[in-house]
């Protein structure tokens, strides 16, 4: 979906991130602090770096998302050879499977074998999971996901009203593990936790590029680890129809290049998600973004075919014909078939970016609009949605659509997913529609975790709080494939998971990054490849097993935004995704690391350790240049990186010169400053579809070495 070029200014503009920077005070924790002020051994950890309390009682808090209430006591529960687990209260297969997975991960984390047999008398076990009931038959918005964890020196007790609550608690338990004196332990803590939002989603577009089942399943593992609870599966678009339909076999048969999920695979994914407390909401985009349907069934379209699978991205004109009863008969049978695969109460019908061109060009459709008093194509799309809604209701499903579906002609139980801006969420809410916010959560903008993290799912001033169901991260598929998706999703999605789960007041960016670094490694251990995947690609690009030279460059560049890449490359479905831009990651640690070192040095020129690290880095950038030059010159896949290699060496030289001035207590000349700033400006220009992460910091360093107004020229 999602138009991709300057020709569609509205949607491109809508991808501009909305950033809110709010206050950083955790009121809930302040309250808790007051309560416990006189309990000497208990400290509230609000996960707020501003309060400097990330370590208490020797407990390094790396919970992500942060729990709504966490109290830390003194001491540990060892996870030694005698560790055991028992289930008390309600139990079922889902809970037992989750318990076994947790034991496996605890074992991995602790290095100790843990008995797989659950203790028969649950309360004799070291860890007791005490669950009240099954929860909803089909997990829905009302599912109780709350849980509590109590750790004493003798026992860990996880309590939850539902199995899903217990699953959330198990992830917290796994994040509590500490290593002390060569042993794995749980800190003595007391946690009460529940989500802020009921809908904490992640959308993956498998239409533009197909994502194999193992990719989807490891993504579900990652989602569960950070308590996301809705997988929105975008299954059809102009570039592909990805589900097997037995009723209409030409959908996947002619619209997918053979890349589709069989019905058995869909059931497997839905079951996999259910086991992790994740709902699966399918999306079949209509009436636009539907070319792949028309390859096999051109009679659904508003203009005569033939049609073929689109390779080019953006907005295409093909749209379903809203005037034909046969289209609705088809959709009725199709939705009926799909509801046998997807038990969720919600069904996403897309609705975005239908440009109305085929409708305006058709005499027949224009006549239909006149007869039905439909004044424009928006009204015709609302008419289409009304018919579609009847079909969904018949099949016991509620409609979700992108914000284009917002129209007073539709009843208030339609859920509106805001993507073109935060405004549509408020507009919908004022009219009584429930909404999901996605506009600030488009990962293909290649923005930092901090930028996404700053945007609240309930924008300032939106008073209809109950109508904001939550947020959804969007991972569009134009510029990713199975090899690169993980590094675009993670760890940024984990930062957003906290935004959707934790209290609004948890918003300290530095503390989020501290915990995100730890969670990122945990996610990789769980099977995600956001760290190893890019490393493997760098090896492949360099053509050597230990590509130290190329790693130096890769560490300090990140991909340009979706729009910039599209404009430069005209990326299509046929573009190989195997360049430097694909091997590097958005928001790499280098930006913060270098910024921290430079700020530290400017604040304290005697800061020797930081200075030495900067110097080493700058020297490296210069030193790798000849080798890298030779490498890029000889490689078809790296050739476009040639200017970046030169700029890296120049940046290294500039950094060394600046350090030299600062060391000597001398001031660089105005001429030096202007030439160096000029080089850095040059390095800001587009090249190789990547941008440097360190330019603002290096600029600062140059300015510190030759301040304006120092009078030297
Ligand atoms: C969208 O990005 N077109 C929903």
DSSP 437-458: E-GGGBGGG---HHHHHH--SS
3-state secondary structure 298-309: HHHECCCCCCCC
Q: Answer whether residue 114 shows pLDDT above 60.
A: yes
Output the average pLDDT for the chain.
91
Please tell me the distance between residue 52's alpha carbon and the centre of ligand 1 in angstroms.
Answer: 40
C-alpha 644/C-alpha 687 separation (Å) is 7
Ligand 1 atom closest to 2 (CA): 3
* % residues pLDDT > 70 (the chain): 91
> Cα–Cα distance between 576 and 681 in angstroms, integer?
30
Give the SS3 label for residue 183: strand
Pick the residue with more confidence: 579 or 8? 579
Kindly give, in sequence order, each residue whose CB lies less than 8 Å from that of residue 480, ignoring residues fewer than 6 positions away. 209, 444, 488, 577
CB 498 within 8 A of CB 64: yes
**pLDDT tier at 711, thresholds 50, 70, 90:** low
Residue 712: the pLDDT is 64
Helix extents (H) in 126-249 = 163-176, 213-225
Cα–Cα distance, 114 to 639 (Å, whole number): 52
Rounded-to-integer distance, Cα 166 and Cα 162, Å: 6
Residue recorded with tokens 């099954």: 134
Reported pTM: 0.93
Q: How far is the CA of 561 from the centre of ligand 1 (A)?
A: 16
Q: Whose CA is nearest to atom 3 of ligand 1?
A: 2
Where do we find the tokens 């984990």?
Answer: 494
Once rounded to an integer, what is the mean pLDDT over residues 456-464?
A: 86
**Ligand 1: which of 4, 313, 402, 403 to mutate, most ligand atoms within 8 Å of CB?**
402
Ligand 1 nearest atom to the CA of residue 417, by list position: 4
Cα-Cα-Cα-Cα dihedral sign, residues 478, 484, 487, 490: positive
Q: What pLDDT shows up at residue 713?
A: 60
Does pLDDT of 220 surpass 90?
A: yes
Q: Running DSSP on this structure, what letter comes out for residue 514?
A: H
pLDDT band at 56 (very low <50, low <70, confident <90, very high): low
Q: Kindly write down the DSSP assignment for every residue of 378-432, as one continuous string.
A: HHHHHHHHHHHHHHHHHTT-EEEEEGGG--TTS-TT-EEEE-S-THHHHHHHHTT
% of the chain surpassing 90 pLDDT = 87
Q: Which domains are present in the chain?
A: 7-26+197-526 (3.20.20.80), 69-193 (3.30.379.10), 532-705 (no CATH)
State CA 561 to chain mean position distance.
15
Query: Residues 582-596: what's their mean pLDDT?
Result: 97
Q: For atom 1 of ligand 1, which residue has the closest CA?
A: 2
Taking the CA of residue 14 as reference, the ligand 1 atom at the shortest distance is 2
CA 223 – CA 286 distance, rounded (Å): 27
The best mutation among 419, 437, 445, 477 to test binding of ligand 1, ranked by most ligand atoms within 8 Å of the C-beta, falls on 419
According to the model, what pLDDT value does residue 609 have?
87
Task: Using the mean position of ligand 1's atoms as its centre, give its distance from the Cα of residue 419 in Å.
Answer: 6
Per residue in 11-53, pLDDT (tens digit) is: 332 332 222 222 222 323 333 333 333 232 334 444 333 333 3
> Residue 607 — very low, low, confident or very high, per pLDDT cuts 50/70/90?
confident
Q: Contact, 668 vs 706, CB < 8 A?
A: yes
Distance 234 CA to ligand 1 centre (A): 11
Contact 85, 129 (CB under 8 A): yes
Substitution site in 5, 350, 353 for ligand 1 pocket (most atoms within 8 Å of beta carbon): 353
496 φ/ψ angles, rounded to the nearest 5 degrees: -70, -30
Q: Would the pLDDT of 4 be above 80? A: no
Lowest mean pLDDT among 56-65, 174-183, 613-622, 648-657: 56-65
Residue nearest to atom 2 of ligand 1 (CA): 2
Distance 692 CA to ligand 1 centre (A): 28
Using alpha carbons, list the distances in angstroms from residue 531 to 118, 229, 527. Answer: 34, 24, 11
Ligand 1 atom having least distance to the Cα of 353: 3
* CA dihedral for 503, 509, 515, 521, sign (positive or negative): positive
Cβ atoms of 535 and 546 closer than 8 Å = no
What is the band of 326 on the pLDDT scale with cuts at 50, 70, 90?
Answer: very high
Å from CA of 186 to ligand 1 middle = 44
Q: How far is the CA of 246 from the centre of ligand 1 (A)?
A: 28
**pLDDT recorded at residue 40:** 29
**Residue 13 has what pLDDT?**
29
**pLDDT tops 90 at residue 139:** yes
**Pocket, ligand 1, Cβ cutoff 6 A:** 1-2, 352-353, 402, 419
pLDDT of residue 186: 97
SS (H, E, C) 257-295: CCCCECHHHHHHHHHHHHHCCCEEEEEECCCCCCHHHHH
Per-residue pLDDT tens over the stretch 416-429: 999 998 989 999 99
* pLDDT value, residue 11: 36
Of 220, 214, 293, 227, the residue nearest 256 (C-alpha): 293
Q: Looking at residues 100-118, what average pLDDT do you find?
A: 94
Peptide bond into 306 cis (omega under 30): yes
Residues marked active site are found at: 353
- Of residues 68 and 2, more confidently modeled: 68
Distance 418 CA to ligand 1 centre (A): 9
* Residue 709 binned pLDDT confidence (cut-offs 50, 70, 90): confident
From the CA of 476, give the closest atom in ligand 1. Answer: 2
The pLDDT-based confidence of 192 (bands split at 50, 70, 90) is very high
Lookup: tokens for 178: 């500490």
Residue reference for tokens 């076994």: 100
Q: How confident is the model at residue 605 (pLDDT cuts 50, 70, 90)?
A: confident
């Amino acid at each position: 979906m999602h138009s991709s070029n300057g020709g569609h200014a509205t949607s491109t503009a809508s991808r501009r991130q909305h950033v809110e920077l709010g206050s950083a005070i955790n009121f809930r924790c302040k309250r808790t602090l007051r309560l416990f002020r006189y309990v000497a051994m208990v400290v509230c950890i609000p996960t707020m770096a501003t309060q400097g309390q990330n370590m208490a009682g020797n407990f390094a808090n790396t919970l992500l998302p942060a729990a709504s209430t966490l109290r830390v006591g003194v001491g540990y529960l060892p996870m030694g050879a005698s560790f055991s687990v028992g289930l008390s209260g309600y139990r079922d297969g889902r809970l037992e499977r989750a318990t076994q997975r947790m034991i496996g991960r605890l074992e991995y984390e602790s290095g100790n074998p843990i008995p797989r047999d659950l203790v028969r008398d649950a309360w004799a076990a070291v860890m007791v999971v005490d669950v009240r009931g099954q929860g909803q038959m089909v997990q829905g918005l009302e599912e109780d996901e709350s849980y509590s964890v109590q750790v004493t020196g003798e026992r860990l007790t996880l309590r939850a009203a539902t199995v899903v609550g217990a699953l959330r608690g198990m992830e917290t338990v796994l994040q509590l593990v500490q290593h002390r004196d060569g042993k794995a332990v749980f800190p003595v803590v007391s946690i009460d936790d529940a989500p802020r939002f009921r809908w904490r989603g992640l959308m993956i577009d498998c239409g533009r590029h197909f994502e194999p089942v193992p990719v989807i399943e490891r993504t579900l593992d990652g989602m569960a680890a950070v308590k996301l609870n809705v997988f929105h599966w975008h299954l059809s678009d102009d570039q592909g129809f990805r589900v097997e339909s037995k009723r209409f076999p030409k959908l996947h048969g002619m619209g997918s290049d053979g890349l589709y999920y069989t019905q058995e695979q869909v059931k497997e994914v839905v079951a996999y998600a259910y086991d992790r407390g994740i709902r699966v909401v399918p999306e079949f985009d209509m009436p636009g973004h539907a070319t792949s349907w028309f390859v096999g069934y051109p009679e659904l379209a508003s203009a005569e075919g033939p049609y073929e699978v689109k390779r080019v991205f953006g907005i295409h004109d093909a749209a379903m014909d809203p005037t034909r009863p046969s289209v609705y008969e088809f959709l009725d049978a199709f939705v009926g078939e799909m509801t046998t695969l997807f038990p969720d109460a919600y069904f996403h019908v897309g609705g975005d970016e239908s440009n109305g061109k085929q409708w305006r060009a058709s005499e027949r459709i224009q006549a239909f609009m006149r007869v039905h008093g439909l004044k424009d194509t928006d009204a015709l799309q609302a008419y289409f949605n009304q018919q579609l809604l009847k079909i969904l209701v018949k099949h016991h499903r509620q409609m979700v659509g992108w914000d284009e579906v917002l129209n007073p002609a539709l009843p208030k139980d339609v859920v509106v997913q805001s993507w073109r801006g935060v405004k549509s969420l408020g507009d919908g809410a004022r009219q009584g529609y429930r909404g999901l916010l996605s506009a600030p959560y488009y990962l293909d903008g290649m923005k930092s975790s901090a930028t996404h993290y700053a945007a609240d799912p309930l924008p300032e001033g939106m008073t209809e709080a109950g109508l904001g169901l939550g947020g959804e991260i969007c991972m569009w598929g134009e510029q990713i494939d199975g090899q690169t998706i993980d590094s675009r999703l993670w760890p940024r999605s984990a930062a957003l998971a906290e935004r959707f789960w934790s209290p609004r007041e948890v918003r300290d960016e530095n503390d989020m990054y501290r915990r995100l670094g730890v969670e990122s490694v945990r996610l990789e251990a769980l099977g995600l490849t956001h760290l190893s995947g890019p490393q493997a690609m760098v090896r492949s690009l360099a053509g050597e097993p230990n590509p130290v030279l190329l790693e130096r460059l890769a560490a300090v560049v990140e991909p340009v935004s979706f729009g910039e890449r599209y404009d430069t490359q005209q990326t299509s479905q046929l573009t190989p995704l195997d360049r430097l831009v694909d091997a590097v990651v958005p928001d790499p640690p280098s930006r913060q690391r270098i910024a921290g070192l430079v700020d530290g040095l400017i604040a304290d020129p005697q800061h020797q350790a930081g200075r030495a690290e900067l110097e080493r880095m700058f020297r490296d950038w210069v030193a790798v240049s000849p080798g890298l030059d030779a490498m890029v010159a000889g490689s078809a896949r790296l050739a476009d990186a040639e200017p970046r290699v030169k700029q890296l060496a120049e940046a290294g030289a500039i950094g060394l010169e600046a350090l030299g001035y600062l060391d000597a207590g001398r001031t660089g000349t105005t001429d030096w400053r202007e030439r160096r700033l000029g080089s850095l400006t040059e390095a800001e220009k587009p090249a190789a579809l990547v941008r440097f992460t360190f330019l603002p910091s290096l600029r600062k360093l140059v300015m510190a070495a030759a301040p304006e107004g120092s009078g030297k020229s």
